[in-house]
Structure 1
Amino acid sequence: MEFDLSWLLLGLPLAFMLGWLASRMDLRQLRTENRSAPKAYFKGLNFLLNEQQDQAIDAFIEAVQSDPDTSELHFALGNLFRRRGEYDRAVRVHEHLIARGDLSQGDRERAQYALALDFLKAGLLDRAEAALLPLEGTAFEAQARLALLALYERSRDWPQAAVIAHKLHAAGQGDFSTRLAHYLCEQAQTRHAAGDTPAALALLEQAAATAPDAPRPRLELARMQHAQGHSAAALASLQTLAERAPAALPLAAPLLAEVAQAAGQVEPTLALLRTHYAAAPALDLLQAIVTLEAVQSDNPQKARQWWVKHLDTELSLVAAAQWLSTEKFAHEEFHPQVQRALDHATKPLLRYRCAACGFEARQHFWHCPGCQSWDSYPPRRVEEL
């Protein structure tokens, strides 16, 4: 059977026409979809980019009303409500998402996590905990655990915080050994305040074993041992601290000077302090040296010369004020007024400052009361930073 070329000649124009018609239909459909896309969505996006959150919220609400099935718009609206502090409205948005039957499992978990964040920001810790616990084993497991950890720390539930920290540590989310040692120290303080000193000492020993290089367990252990009259054991704890965490020795220096006198170990302790001071001069180390030098030499004037030596290498107003406080001058009647002015000027310089948020305090904190960061306070005074 011979092939008729006339059919081919007729078929080519027909195929071309059909393709042209199909492309025109696709273009019409695209234009229709573009027209149906809510203009309020793009208005809201524009307001958001211009940091006009009030107008963005109004635009997104309008878009959600036009297309209530769009889950992404609900997520954007809920996040905006949370950022503005309107937590009750954020909760309603995310609860509405969770209640939808057509929501995918991934979006449902995402809405559950967003709802937990709403409760956290609102300070509703019980409801936040209840919202975070079901996220175990989901794609938001790591974020939920971190949020739970912050929640338990905020409520000072140290045993529960330890459980979460162990899970994060086992999952390779970081090294939480130092954090776990802090939790044990916090529990030890509670036991000690309740009069259960043996249990407190056991917890501090456990904390030192959990994080051998952490300074807090050994410092608090030495303080408690010294209070119990075990000065030799306290001195041994502080010596281990000096070996394991030499940068934190300024925090222990005042206690070290007191323990050394009680244990009759002034000379070896002085040698230890001089060695660390030579490696890294610090005001607290210097004060401990001056205290022990005065005991060892029975010559307070010689001991006070350490303040002048410090001024040779460090321009320190604190050291200058300390030296001037014990010197005699020709116009001695004016000395008290001058000294009061110097002491007033040096008070801010003797504070500790959080490296994370800048919160300053007269005492050193392991857990910043401002930003809730751990170990964010350097063991040095503001003047030395």
Structure 2
Amino acid sequence: MNFDLSWILLGLPLAFVLGWLASRMDMRQMRLENQQAPKAYFKGLNYLLNEQQDKAIDAFIEAMQNDPDTAELHFALGNLFRRRGEYSRAVRVHEHLLQRADLSDADRQRAQHGLAQDYLKAGLLDRAEEALRRLEATPYEADARLALLSIYERARDWPQAAAIVRKLQQSGQGDFSQRLSHYLCEEAAALAQQAQLGPALQLLEQACTTAPTAPRPWLDRARVQFRDGAADAAWSSLTTLAAQAPQGLTLALPLLLEIAGATGREGPAIALLRQRYAQAPSLDVVLALVQLGADPDGQDGQRCTADDCVCSQGWLLRHLEKEPSLTIAHQWLATQGEKAPPTAVLQALEHASRPLMRYRCAACGFEARQHFWHCPGCQSWDSYPARHVEEL
């Protein structure tokens, strides 16, 4: 059988032409797909910049359909879902990323961090805790520890919170000694409520050592000591408080007056308050001096020998000369006896001055009658000055 080589000569150009046409069609298709993906992506960015999140999500979904392997689009979409409050959809996006075998380590850690944020925003704290713990030894470790700290504070799990702040301090993330002292005080308060005063005092000793210039450990320690019958030790703790953290002495005044009355230390208490008043005139301190019957013209621990009203008027008028105060003005008018204004006027002044005796958070402005170490509004620590609103 003879084979005609002319067919080969005719077929080669034809095969070349067909291959060339096929390659052109493939290149055109690839170029079209590559043009569509960036176009949808940039469209989504434009919508996002214009705060049109619904349209941005639609555009990103379209871009993902054209290029499903692009991790950045998944991250953008997950963040958008979380910002819109669609936490379940954000969780699905980040879980899908974590299931991909071709994902790099950096993107896998980023997806894990995104998943933890989804759980946090959704209020699923147990799942958020598990997701955050998987971020140890990653670039997101510090953020994860701070988020865990927030979870433990909300759950009032003080031992776990203390363990986290120790890790943060060891890694050089800042000084958390005062925060740690608060956790120890919270643990001690729980034990004191259960009448376990010995273990509570041990924790308070640690708190005083951890943050010696913080007022709360010394104050809480004095309370537990006085409750335990150790009045002398409680007085010593209060004098240390006055020396180490004098700004917190006003918070200890009720306890100071009680211990002074129980142990006959009215004179030393007057001397201590005189010294503090000379350093920083305070409404609470002057009222405590009035209650102790201190002589406004005397020295050190000298008590007033004149009429109580005369002594009170002297202290109140002296404070008004230093700092204007509606509360003190009301107190002074009330001591005028027959010269006092009508009862209705005194009641009006008392009603006007009552809101001024509140404490105000410096972080969020939340006001309360009592002083808080941990703001119930913004969850900040040590954001309440130890001064009333009128004195700020």
Rg bigger for which structure? 2
Residue 246 (1) aligns with residue 246 (2): yes
Relative to structure 1, the CA distance from residue 43 to residue 294 in structure 2 (aligned partners, 3 Å threshold; closer, same or farther) is: same
Q: Which runs of 5+ in 2 are unaligned?
A: 1-27, 296-302
Any idea what SS the aligned residue of 2:337 has? coil
Pairs within 5 Å for 1:286-305: 286-293=286-293, 296-297=303-304, 299-301=307-309, 302-305=311-314
Relative to structure 1, the CA distance from residue 304 to residue 59 in structure 2 (aligned partners, 3 Å threshold; closer, same or farther) is: farther
Q: Which letter does structure 2 place at the counterpart of 1:62?
A: E
1:338 corresponds to which of 310, 326, 345: 345
Q: Which letter does structure 1 place at the counterpart of 2:373?
A: W
Verify the 8 A CA contact 2:37 2:66 in the aligned structure 1.
no
2:315 corresponds to which of 299, 306, 310: 306
- The percentage of counterpart residues that share the same residue type is 63
1:366 counterpart residue number: 373
Give the deviation of 1:303 after TM superposition: 2.5
Give the deviation of 1:33 after TM superposition: 8.2
Q: Which letter does structure 2 place at the counterpart of 1:300?
A: D
Relative to structure 1, the CA distance from residue 33 to residue 310 in structure 2 (aligned partners, 3 Å threshold; closer, same or farther) is: farther
Give the deviation of 1:257 after TM superposition: 2.2
2:329 counterpart residue number: 320
Relative to structure 1, the CA distance from residue 282 to residue 56 in structure 2 (aligned partners, 3 Å threshold; closer, same or farther) is: farther
Q: Which runs of 5+ in 1 are unaligned?
A: 1-27
Give the deviation of 1:152 after TM superposition: 1.0
Verify the 8 A CA contact 1:215 1:241 in the aligned structure 2.
yes
* Separation (CA, whole Å) in 1 of partners of 2:81 and 2:321: 58
Relative to structure 1, the CA distance from residue 293 to residue 113 in structure 2 (aligned partners, 3 Å threshold; closer, same or farther) is: same
TM-score by length of 2: 0.85
Give the deviation of 1:189 after TM superposition: 0.8
Pairs within 5 Å for 1:95-114: 95-114=95-114
1:160 counterpart residue number: 160
Give the deviation of 1:80 after TM superposition: 2.1
Verify the 8 A CA contact 1:38 1:66 in the aligned structure 2.
no
Relative to structure 1, the CA distance from residue 123 to residue 267 in structure 2 (aligned partners, 3 Å threshold; closer, same or farther) is: same
TM-score by length of 1: 0.87
CA-based RMSD: 2.2
* Separation (CA, whole Å) in 2 of partners of 1:58 and 1:340: 64
2:57 counterpart residue number: 57
Relative to structure 1, the CA distance from residue 209 to residue 93 in structure 2 (aligned partners, 3 Å threshold; closer, same or farther) is: same
Give the deviation of 1:106 after TM superposition: 0.5
Pairs within 5 Å for 1:1-385: 35-293=35-293, 296-297=303-304, 299-301=307-309, 302-330=311-339, 334-335=342-343, 337-385=344-392
Verify the 8 A CA contact 1:294 1:300 in the aligned structure 2.
no
CA deviation vs aligned residue, 1:77-136 (integer Å, no higher than 9, x gap): 222222222221211111111111221100101110111111112111110111011111
Verify the 8 A CA contact 1:357 1:370 in the aligned structure 2.
yes
Relative to structure 1, the CA distance from residue 61 to residue 344 in structure 2 (aligned partners, 3 Å threshold; closer, same or farther) is: farther
* Separation (CA, whole Å) in 2 of partners of 1:359 and 1:110: 36
CA deviation vs aligned residue, 1:35-72 (integer Å, no higher than 9, x gap): 33433322222232233333333333333333322212
CA deviation vs aligned residue, 1:301-336 (integer Å, no higher than 9, x gap): 11342122111121111111222233324576x31x
Q: Which runs of 4+ in 1 moved over 4 A?
A: 28-34, 329-332
* Separation (CA, whole Å) in 1 of partners of 2:195 and 2:131: 37
